[in-house]
Amino acid sequence: MQTGPQTTAKQRARLRELAAKYEKPSFTEDDPIQFLHAAGGGDENRETTAFVAACLSYGSRKQFIPKIECIVAQAKGDVHNWVLSGKFRSYLCPADDSCFYRLFSCARMHGLLSALHDLLAAHGSIGAYLRNAGATTGLAAVQALCTAFGNGAVAPIVPKDATSACKRLCLFLRWMVRDNSPVDVGLWSKWFDKRTLIIPLDVHVLRQATKLGLIHTQSASMHTALTLTSRLAEAFPDDPLKGDFALYGLGIAAPGAEQIGDRRYLPLQLATSH
């Protein structure tokens, strides 16, 4: 069994330097969290808007940001009541298999919003659902959200279980839980320990973590996400996901980085060389 720190002092210093540089208010300008900051109508609407935005946050920002904008516009800014009232059903049809966004058909988006409607009708909010389920830590919350949403009608928008990295769910939780941040809003910070959050892991984060020597795998699994989070916790013991901004910064600062959406990422062959 490994004991002691798994990161070096140099790695931890680099992570802290990058996080301090990139966790700034300007981060929200081209990030899907902008919809959470812009949402009015109270915390319930901010929470519901954030969940829908996080579910659509993959691929190129130039493509998914307009899709989120479309949902918010259809809801006239009140995504919570739009879903809870069932008005989304006049916009999305359960029999419509045409593409809404990439792998997400209109029928699957209808399934996602139908499941969200049922959860809101039963519990009032996503946060209340998690509290009622006793899911107030990172992995428990991911598992509870998979249980609520990860059925055949919703997949692949929400995974059926927490075997995969569940990047979009982890991103949503980061937004909801982290406080004292110019980016994340911390609506749940009083009852959810941010030290238990899990890094929103995708191939781009993997590349930067590999480049920095924090991990040595290209498997985007929950096991890898938990391992990387534990490494970040060595630099940020009270707030491991501050490291998410460090890995973002490493990607856009790296020489030879490639443009993907609105971010730049180091090519894999460079990221894995030493």
Q: Give pLDDT, residue 198.
A: 98
Q: Give pLDDT, residue 43.
A: 96
Q: Give pLDDT, residue 156.
A: 80
Q: Give pLDDT, residue 254.
A: 57
Give per-residue burial for 152-186: e unless 16+ CB within 10 Å, then b: eebeebbbeebebbbbbbbbbbbbbbbeebebbbb
Q: Give pLDDT, residue 270.
A: 29
Question: Would you write out the chain's pLDDT as a tens digit for each of its 274 residues?
Answer: 456 789 999 999 999 999 999 999 999 988 999 999 999 999 999 999 999 999 999 988 899 999 999 999 999 999 999 999 999 999 999 999 999 999 899 999 999 999 999 999 999 999 999 999 999 999 999 999 999 997 767 878 999 999 999 999 999 999 999 999 999 999 999 999 999 999 999 988 999 999 999 999 989 999 999 999 999 999 999 999 999 999 988 887 655 443 333 343 333 332 333 2
Q: Give pLDDT, residue 2.
A: 57
Q: Give pLDDT, residue 139.
A: 98
DSSP states along 167-228 = HHHHHHHHHHH--S-SS---TTTTTS-GGG------HHHHHHHHHTTS------BHHHHHHH
